[in-house]
Amino acid sequence: MRLFPDLEYPITQHWLPAPSKRRSKRLANKIRFLVAHDTGNPGSTAAGNVKYYESSCQQCSASAHLFVDDKQIIECVPALTAPPEKAWHVRYNCAERVDLALYKCHANDAAIGVEYCYGPNIKAKEAYQRYVWVLAYACWKFHLDPAHDIIDHHRLDPTRKTDPHSGLAKSGGSYAQLLRDVAATLASYSGKAALAPARPAASAAAWVAGPQAGTITVRARLNLRYGQPSRLAPGRAVPAGLQLVYIGCVVGDDINGNNRWYALPDDEYCWSGGIVGDS
Protein backbone atom coordinates (compact mmCIF):
# COMPACT_ATOMS: atom_id res chain seq x y z
CA MET A 1 0.00 0.00 0.00
CA ARG A 2 1.35 3.43 -0.95
CA LEU A 3 1.18 6.23 1.59
CA PHE A 4 0.46 9.82 0.72
CA PRO A 5 3.32 11.32 2.76
CA ASP A 6 5.58 9.97 -0.02
CA LEU A 7 4.41 12.65 -2.44
CA GLU A 8 4.05 11.51 -6.04
CA TYR A 9 4.22 15.11 -7.26
CA PRO A 10 6.08 17.94 -5.52
CA ILE A 11 4.05 20.86 -4.21
CA THR A 12 6.01 24.05 -4.81
CA GLN A 13 5.62 26.84 -2.26
CA HIS A 14 5.42 30.26 -3.85
CA TRP A 15 3.41 32.12 -1.28
CA LEU A 16 1.96 35.52 -2.06
CA PRO A 17 3.14 38.51 -0.04
CA ALA A 18 1.27 38.89 3.24
CA PRO A 19 -0.59 40.65 4.51
CA SER A 20 -2.04 41.74 1.19
CA LYS A 21 -5.44 41.85 -0.49
CA ARG A 22 -4.92 38.43 -2.03
CA ARG A 23 -3.44 36.85 1.09
CA SER A 24 -4.63 38.16 4.45
CA LYS A 25 -2.60 35.59 6.39
CA ARG A 26 -5.73 34.77 8.42
CA LEU A 27 -5.94 31.09 9.31
CA ALA A 28 -8.81 29.12 7.83
CA ASN A 29 -11.38 27.31 9.93
CA LYS A 30 -11.34 23.51 9.95
CA ILE A 31 -11.23 22.44 6.29
CA ARG A 32 -14.63 20.99 5.46
CA PHE A 33 -14.50 20.73 1.66
CA LEU A 34 -12.60 21.49 -1.55
CA VAL A 35 -13.65 23.73 -4.44
CA ALA A 36 -12.64 22.64 -7.94
CA HIS A 37 -11.89 25.60 -10.22
CA ASP A 38 -10.33 26.22 -13.59
CA THR A 39 -8.56 29.44 -14.51
CA GLY A 40 -10.94 30.40 -17.32
CA ASN A 41 -7.87 31.62 -19.20
CA PRO A 42 -6.77 28.98 -21.74
CA GLY A 43 -3.02 28.69 -22.05
CA SER A 44 -2.15 30.38 -18.77
CA THR A 45 0.27 28.32 -16.70
CA ALA A 46 0.44 27.73 -12.98
CA ALA A 47 3.57 29.86 -12.72
CA GLY A 48 2.03 32.59 -14.87
CA ASN A 49 -1.09 32.80 -12.75
CA VAL A 50 0.86 32.95 -9.51
CA LYS A 51 3.14 35.63 -10.96
CA TYR A 52 0.08 37.71 -11.88
CA TYR A 53 -1.41 37.23 -8.41
CA GLU A 54 1.88 38.30 -6.89
CA SER A 55 2.22 41.45 -9.02
CA SER A 56 -1.37 42.49 -8.29
CA CYS A 57 -1.58 41.38 -4.64
CA GLN A 58 -2.33 44.90 -3.40
CA GLN A 59 -4.82 45.72 -6.17
CA CYS A 60 -7.17 42.69 -6.20
CA SER A 61 -8.55 40.40 -3.53
CA ALA A 62 -9.51 37.28 -5.54
CA SER A 63 -7.19 34.37 -4.83
CA ALA A 64 -6.88 30.59 -4.66
CA HIS A 65 -4.67 28.18 -2.78
CA LEU A 66 -3.19 26.08 -5.58
CA PHE A 67 -2.62 26.23 -9.34
CA VAL A 68 -1.99 23.03 -11.30
CA ASP A 69 -0.66 22.57 -14.83
CA ASP A 70 1.30 19.89 -16.68
CA LYS A 71 4.58 20.82 -15.00
CA GLN A 72 3.84 22.11 -11.49
CA ILE A 73 1.54 22.21 -8.50
CA ILE A 74 2.11 25.63 -6.97
CA GLU A 75 0.76 26.61 -3.56
CA CYS A 76 0.43 30.40 -3.41
CA VAL A 77 -1.69 30.53 -0.23
CA PRO A 78 -0.79 27.96 2.46
CA ALA A 79 -3.05 24.94 2.30
CA LEU A 80 -1.26 21.59 2.13
CA THR A 81 2.33 22.30 3.19
CA ALA A 82 1.51 24.55 6.16
CA PRO A 83 -1.53 25.40 8.30
CA PRO A 84 -4.27 26.45 5.83
CA GLU A 85 -5.06 30.12 5.44
CA LYS A 86 -8.17 31.72 4.01
CA ALA A 87 -8.26 32.51 0.30
CA TRP A 88 -10.90 34.49 -1.59
CA HIS A 89 -11.97 32.07 -4.33
CA VAL A 90 -15.80 32.16 -4.05
CA ARG A 91 -18.04 35.21 -3.69
CA TYR A 92 -19.48 35.66 -0.21
CA ASN A 93 -22.70 37.14 -1.60
CA CYS A 94 -23.76 34.37 -3.99
CA ALA A 95 -27.55 34.26 -3.84
CA GLU A 96 -27.71 30.46 -3.73
CA ARG A 97 -25.51 30.04 -0.61
CA VAL A 98 -25.01 26.37 -1.46
CA ASP A 99 -21.85 26.12 0.66
CA LEU A 100 -23.76 27.20 3.74
CA ALA A 101 -26.57 24.76 3.00
CA LEU A 102 -24.27 21.78 2.45
CA TYR A 103 -21.34 22.43 4.76
CA LYS A 104 -22.61 25.03 7.26
CA CYS A 105 -19.69 27.32 6.38
CA HIS A 106 -18.46 29.53 3.56
CA ALA A 107 -15.91 28.35 1.02
CA ASN A 108 -13.51 31.19 1.76
CA ASP A 109 -13.46 30.28 5.44
CA ALA A 110 -13.27 26.49 5.37
CA ALA A 111 -12.44 25.22 1.88
CA ILE A 112 -9.36 24.92 -0.28
CA GLY A 113 -9.57 26.28 -3.82
CA VAL A 114 -7.66 24.37 -6.50
CA GLU A 115 -7.28 25.86 -9.99
CA TYR A 116 -6.88 23.72 -13.11
CA CYS A 117 -4.77 25.19 -15.92
CA TYR A 118 -5.58 24.10 -19.48
CA GLY A 119 -5.10 25.19 -23.08
CA PRO A 120 -3.27 24.50 -26.31
CA ASN A 121 0.21 24.88 -24.83
CA ILE A 122 -0.51 22.67 -21.79
CA LYS A 123 -0.40 18.88 -21.99
CA ALA A 124 -3.88 17.97 -20.87
CA LYS A 125 -3.12 14.44 -19.66
CA GLU A 126 -0.25 15.52 -17.43
CA ALA A 127 -2.13 18.53 -16.04
CA TYR A 128 -5.19 16.41 -15.31
CA GLN A 129 -3.16 13.73 -13.54
CA ARG A 130 -1.66 16.35 -11.23
CA TYR A 131 -5.07 17.95 -10.65
CA VAL A 132 -6.63 14.60 -9.70
CA TRP A 133 -3.69 13.73 -7.49
CA VAL A 134 -3.63 16.98 -5.51
CA LEU A 135 -7.39 16.81 -4.91
CA ALA A 136 -6.99 13.23 -3.68
CA TYR A 137 -4.09 14.22 -1.47
CA ALA A 138 -6.14 17.05 0.05
CA CYS A 139 -9.01 14.61 0.70
CA TRP A 140 -6.57 12.28 2.46
CA LYS A 141 -4.98 15.06 4.49
CA PHE A 142 -8.28 16.54 5.73
CA HIS A 143 -10.29 13.28 5.95
CA LEU A 144 -12.71 14.27 3.19
CA ASP A 145 -14.92 12.12 0.98
CA PRO A 146 -14.56 12.97 -2.74
CA ALA A 147 -18.19 12.01 -3.35
CA HIS A 148 -19.49 14.74 -1.04
CA ASP A 149 -16.65 17.06 -0.12
CA ILE A 150 -15.48 18.27 -3.53
CA ILE A 151 -17.74 20.83 -5.15
CA ASP A 152 -17.45 22.68 -8.43
CA HIS A 153 -17.30 26.47 -8.51
CA HIS A 154 -20.20 26.45 -10.97
CA ARG A 155 -22.54 25.02 -8.36
CA LEU A 156 -21.54 27.67 -5.83
CA ASP A 157 -21.97 30.57 -8.28
CA PRO A 158 -24.10 29.21 -11.14
CA THR A 159 -25.10 32.52 -12.72
CA ARG A 160 -21.48 33.61 -13.21
CA LYS A 161 -19.17 30.60 -13.29
CA THR A 162 -18.85 27.42 -15.35
CA ASP A 163 -15.62 26.06 -13.89
CA PRO A 164 -14.20 23.51 -13.77
CA HIS A 165 -16.66 22.03 -16.29
CA SER A 166 -15.48 24.33 -19.07
CA GLY A 167 -11.77 23.71 -18.53
CA LEU A 168 -12.20 19.97 -18.16
CA ALA A 169 -14.32 19.83 -21.32
CA LYS A 170 -11.57 21.65 -23.24
CA SER A 171 -9.25 18.85 -22.12
CA GLY A 172 -11.69 16.14 -23.18
CA GLY A 173 -12.88 15.36 -19.65
CA SER A 174 -15.84 15.98 -17.37
CA TYR A 175 -16.52 16.90 -13.76
CA ALA A 176 -18.29 13.60 -13.09
CA GLN A 177 -15.21 11.72 -14.30
CA LEU A 178 -12.99 13.94 -12.15
CA LEU A 179 -14.82 12.87 -9.00
CA ARG A 180 -14.50 9.21 -9.94
CA ASP A 181 -10.79 9.59 -10.69
CA VAL A 182 -10.10 11.41 -7.43
CA ALA A 183 -11.87 8.66 -5.48
CA ALA A 184 -9.95 5.97 -7.34
CA THR A 185 -6.64 7.72 -6.68
CA LEU A 186 -7.46 8.10 -3.00
CA ALA A 187 -8.38 4.42 -2.83
CA SER A 188 -5.12 3.39 -4.47
CA TYR A 189 -3.17 5.12 -1.72
CA SER A 190 -5.31 4.37 1.30
CA GLY A 191 -6.52 0.89 0.42
CA LYS A 192 -10.12 2.02 0.88
CA ALA A 193 -12.92 1.36 -1.55
CA ALA A 194 -13.55 4.19 -3.98
CA LEU A 195 -15.87 6.69 -2.40
CA ALA A 196 -17.34 8.52 -5.41
CA PRO A 197 -20.02 6.60 -7.29
CA ALA A 198 -20.46 7.10 -10.99
CA ARG A 199 -24.00 8.30 -10.32
CA PRO A 200 -26.01 9.54 -7.35
CA ALA A 201 -27.42 6.95 -5.00
CA ALA A 202 -30.72 6.24 -6.77
CA SER A 203 -31.76 2.60 -7.00
CA ALA A 204 -30.70 0.80 -10.16
CA ALA A 205 -34.34 0.29 -11.12
CA ALA A 206 -34.95 4.03 -11.07
CA TRP A 207 -32.54 4.80 -13.91
CA VAL A 208 -34.22 5.21 -17.29
CA ALA A 209 -32.90 4.92 -20.81
CA GLY A 210 -31.31 7.98 -22.33
CA PRO A 211 -27.97 9.74 -22.75
CA GLN A 212 -25.56 9.03 -19.89
CA ALA A 213 -24.23 12.58 -19.77
CA GLY A 214 -24.73 15.96 -21.37
CA THR A 215 -26.03 19.45 -20.75
CA ILE A 216 -29.52 20.87 -20.33
CA THR A 217 -30.89 24.42 -20.17
CA VAL A 218 -33.41 25.65 -17.60
CA ARG A 219 -36.62 26.94 -19.19
CA ALA A 220 -37.77 29.17 -16.31
CA ARG A 221 -36.80 29.70 -12.68
CA LEU A 222 -36.70 26.21 -11.22
CA ASN A 223 -35.90 24.39 -7.98
CA LEU A 224 -33.20 21.73 -8.09
CA ARG A 225 -33.67 19.04 -5.44
CA TYR A 226 -31.05 17.44 -3.19
CA GLY A 227 -30.90 13.73 -2.41
CA GLN A 228 -33.95 12.50 -4.32
CA PRO A 229 -36.04 13.43 -7.38
CA SER A 230 -38.96 14.80 -5.39
CA ARG A 231 -40.69 18.16 -5.07
CA LEU A 232 -40.61 17.60 -1.29
CA ALA A 233 -36.82 17.30 -1.11
CA PRO A 234 -34.75 20.32 -0.03
CA GLY A 235 -33.22 22.28 -2.85
CA ARG A 236 -32.10 25.54 -4.40
CA ALA A 237 -33.60 27.83 -7.03
CA VAL A 238 -31.77 28.43 -10.32
CA PRO A 239 -32.61 31.05 -12.97
CA ALA A 240 -33.97 30.63 -16.50
CA GLY A 241 -31.31 30.09 -19.13
CA LEU A 242 -28.84 28.39 -16.80
CA GLN A 243 -27.00 25.46 -18.38
CA LEU A 244 -26.56 22.37 -16.21
CA VAL A 245 -24.43 19.27 -16.58
CA TYR A 246 -26.30 15.97 -16.07
CA ILE A 247 -25.09 12.39 -15.66
CA GLY A 248 -28.24 10.39 -16.36
CA CYS A 249 -32.04 10.27 -16.06
CA VAL A 250 -34.20 8.77 -13.32
CA VAL A 251 -37.84 8.17 -12.45
CA GLY A 252 -39.07 10.46 -9.69
CA ASP A 253 -42.13 12.39 -8.53
CA ASP A 254 -44.82 12.77 -11.17
CA ILE A 255 -45.48 16.45 -11.87
CA ASN A 256 -48.18 17.24 -14.42
CA GLY A 257 -47.88 13.74 -15.87
CA ASN A 258 -44.08 13.84 -16.17
CA ASN A 259 -41.95 11.69 -13.82
CA ARG A 260 -38.61 12.00 -15.65
CA TRP A 261 -35.80 13.81 -13.81
CA TYR A 262 -32.20 14.60 -14.71
CA ALA A 263 -29.55 13.43 -12.24
CA LEU A 264 -26.88 16.08 -11.72
CA PRO A 265 -23.47 15.83 -10.03
CA ASP A 266 -23.40 15.91 -6.23
CA ASP A 267 -26.75 14.13 -5.82
CA GLU A 268 -28.97 16.90 -7.23
CA TYR A 269 -32.01 16.32 -9.44
CA CYS A 270 -33.78 18.52 -12.00
CA TRP A 271 -37.36 17.89 -13.17
CA SER A 272 -37.33 17.47 -16.95
CA GLY A 273 -40.49 19.53 -17.40
CA GLY A 274 -38.53 22.64 -16.52
CA ILE A 275 -35.97 22.13 -19.27
CA VAL A 276 -35.97 23.71 -22.73
CA GLY A 277 -36.92 21.14 -25.35
CA ASP A 278 -38.09 18.48 -22.86
CA SER A 279 -41.55 17.48 -21.67
Half-sphere exposure of residue 20: CA atoms within 13 angstroms, side-chain side? 19
The full set of domains in the chain, from first to last, is 11-190 (3.40.80.10), 204-274 (2.30.30.40)
**What pLDDT is attached to residue 278?**
65
**What pLDDT is attached to residue 203?**
45
**What pLDDT is attached to residue 197?**
38
Nearest to 72 by CA among 115, 18, 136: 115
**What pLDDT is attached to residue 196?**
36
223-252 pLDDT per residue, tens: 888 778 888 877 778 888 888 888 888 899
**What pLDDT is attached to residue 72?**
97
**What pLDDT is attached to residue 228?**
81
Output the 3-class SS for 8-22.
Answer: CCCEEECCCCCCCCC
The rounded average pLDDT for each run of 10 residues, N- to C-terminus, in the chain (279 residues) is 68 96 94 97 97 97 97 96 94 86 94 97 97 95 91 94 95 93 86 42 55 80 85 81 84 92 81 82
Half-sphere exposure of residue 196: CA atoms within 13 angstroms, side-chain side? 26
Helix (H) or strand (E) holding 55, with range, is helix 46-55
**What pLDDT is attached to residue 58?**
97
**What pLDDT is attached to residue 200?**
47
Q: How far apart are CA 211 and CA 169, in angstroms?
A: 17
Which residues lie below 8 Å from residue 278, measured CB to CB, with a gap of 6+?
A: 216, 260, 272
**Identity of the residue numbered 214:** G
